């Protein structure tokens, strides 16, 4: 199998799957996911809780718990990631692959000064680095994150929540990784601080040339900071494309309904999606969204739609969208509106 030679593609996933073994059988938390990430690009990953977005983020870095498995194709800078040994994966993490977590305080050692966090990080990953070099690199990373050098020897508890998240980002970026996963990096923060952090993440590519997968449930953040967006539902990417295009012309009904149910400053009426995401041990047949979909047709309940390129440039897996753009033809029986079961609050998210 020859690796792609496009030097601009940092990460490439094809038919990527991640599953867990549970008492009730295997859970396919990430199912047949395809996407690429280019150098310096920010890809937003959105969806309801339990849709598999965090699992996908961790799966890309190989940070899955015992009992989880990956399959399919995952290439990082042309290298096959799934074939690497545990040791080789470890060597890549830090230097090449980075992760920014949601709760910074739990990721910092309360007994270590910030300077010690940096020297440990740098010494583990870059053997034989000099003391001066450690200090120079650390202070530069802090400066880019807007943390004054006067705080270099402080302890984690002496920082506010927003500052701690900046510290975490600085600790990740001091190793200059090419690809970073940020999992809900601003969820615990206030609006103004959140906006500061989003700006920092948005500007990363200018300073560090980093590609970023930004996992969030906040569509506003995606609209402001991301180049492209992938919408996940029940383990699958149902739509992916340029953020502006997806927000202007959502192709998948799930994307559309998610946008409609978001309460924003321009909200004039309340909308919501009936029902709840399915249990992933027994996902519904056909399109996984069909039980909640207002556009569902007979075909949706039996056959799974494949992802197709839509005229606007985004890619979506939806029978109705494909038929609307004449990408395929459905007969009268297939396109008959689906008799939907009444969804009660009993099935609410």
Partner 1 sequence: MPTKPETALVAEARDLSVHYQLQGGALSRLLGVGARRVKAVDGVTVELRRGEVLGVVGESGSGKTTLGRALLGLAPATGGSLTYHPSRGGTQEITSLKGADLRRLRTDVQMVFQDPSAALNPSMTIEEGIGHPLVIHKIASGDELHRRVVAALERVGLSPVERFLSKYPSDLSGGQKQRAVIARAIILEPEVLVADEPVSMLDMSVRAKILQLMLDLKNDLGLTYLYITHDLASAKYFCDRVAIMYLGRIVEIGPTEEIFAHPRHPYTQALLKAIPEPDPDRMVPRDLPRGEIPDAARPPLGCSFHPRCPVATPVCGWESRDLRALLEQHWVRDADVDYEAERSVVGDLDDLDRPQRTARLAGRDVAAVRDVLDRVRAEDPDEPLWGGVRRVGEHGGRLEVEFVEGVDPPLRAAGGVQVACVRYGEDAEWPDEGS
Nearer to partner 1, 93 or 260 (CB): 260
CB of 243 to partner 1, least distance (A): 6
Residues that bind partner 1 (CB under 8 A): 48-49, 139-140, 143, 146-151, 160-163, 190-196, 198-199, 202, 217-225, 243-245, 247-248, 257-259, 261-268, 270-273, 276, 344-346, 348-349
Output 85 or 264, the one with its CB closest to partner 1: 264
Task: Answer for the pair 37, 81: CB distance below 8 angstroms, yes or no.
Answer: no
What is the C-alpha to C-alpha distance for residues 328 and 318, in angstroms, rounded to an integer? 11
Q: How far is the CB of 91 from partner 1 (least distance, A)?
A: 30
User: Is 6 or 209 the residue whose CB approaches partner 1 more closely?
Assistant: 209
By beta-carbon proximity to partner 1, the closer residue of 12 and 196 is 196
CB of 172 to partner 1, least distance (A): 19
CB-nearer residue toward partner 1: 237 or 246: 246
Length of the chain: 349
C-alpha to C-alpha distance for 254 and 47, rounded to whole angstroms: 9
Token readout for 28 is: 């396919």
Q: Which one, 112 or 223, has the nearer CB to partner 1?
A: 223
Spatial contact of 39 and 8, defined as CB atoms under 8 Å apart? yes
Decide: helix, strand or coil at residue 299: helix
Q: Provide the minimum distance between the beta carbon of 99 and partner 1 in the complex, in angstroms, as a whole number.
A: 22
Q: How far is the CB of 4 from partner 1 (least distance, A)?
A: 30
Minimal distance, residue 295 CB to partner 1, in Å: 16
Our CA angle for 221, 202, 78, nearest 5°, is: 110
Per DSSP, helices labelled H in 209-302 are 219-225, 243-248, 253-261
Antiparallel, parallel or unpaired: β 211-215 and 236-242? unpaired
Q: What is the DSSP letter of 45?
A: E
Query: What does each C-alpha distance from 139 to 122, 132, 153 come to in angstroms?
Result: 13, 11, 11
């Amino acid at each position: 199998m020859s690796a792609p030679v496009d030097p601009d593609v940092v990460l490439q996933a094809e038919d990527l799957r991640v599953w867990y073994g549970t008492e009730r059988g295997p859970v396919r938390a990430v199912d047949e996911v395809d996407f690429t990430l280019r150098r310096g690009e920010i890809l937003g990953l959105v969806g309801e809780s339990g849709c598999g977005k965090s699992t996908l983020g961790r799966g890309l870095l190989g940070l899955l718990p015992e009992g989880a498995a990956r399959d399919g194709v995952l290439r990082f800078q042309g290298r096959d990631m799934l074939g690497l040994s545990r040791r080789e994966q470890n060597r890549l993490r830090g230097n090449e692959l980075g992760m920014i977590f949601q709760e910074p305080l739990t990721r910092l050692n309360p007994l270590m000064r910030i300077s010690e966090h940096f020297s440990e990080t740098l010494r583990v990953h870059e053997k034989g680095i000099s003391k001066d070099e450690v200090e120079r690199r650390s202070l530069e990373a802090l400066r880019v994150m807007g943390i004054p050098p006067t705080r270099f020897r402080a302890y984690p508890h002496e920082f506010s929540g927003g500052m701690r998240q900046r510290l975490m980002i600085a600790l990740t970026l001091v190793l200059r990784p090419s690809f970073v996963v940020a999992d809900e990096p601003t969820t615990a923060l206030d609006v103004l601080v959140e906006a500061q952090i989003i700006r920092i993440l948005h500007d990363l590519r200018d300073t560090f040339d980093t590609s970023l997968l930004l996992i969030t449930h906040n569509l506003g953040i995606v609209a402001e900071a991301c180049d492209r967006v992938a919408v996940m539902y029940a383990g699958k990417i149902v739509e992916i494309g340029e953020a502006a295009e997806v927000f202007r012309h959502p192709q998948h009904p799930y994307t559309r309904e998610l946008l409609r149910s978001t309460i924003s400053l321009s909200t004039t009426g309340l909308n919501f999606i009936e029902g709840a995401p399915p249990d992933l041990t027994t996902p519904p047949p056909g399109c996984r969204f069909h039980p909640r979909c207002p556009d569902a047709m007979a075909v949706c309940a039996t056959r799974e739609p494949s992802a197709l390129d839509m005229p606007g440039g985004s890619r979506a897996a939806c029978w109705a969208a494909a038929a609307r753009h004449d990408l395929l033809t459905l007969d009268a029986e297939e396109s008959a509106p689906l008799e939907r079961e009444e969804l009660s609050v009993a099935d609410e998210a």
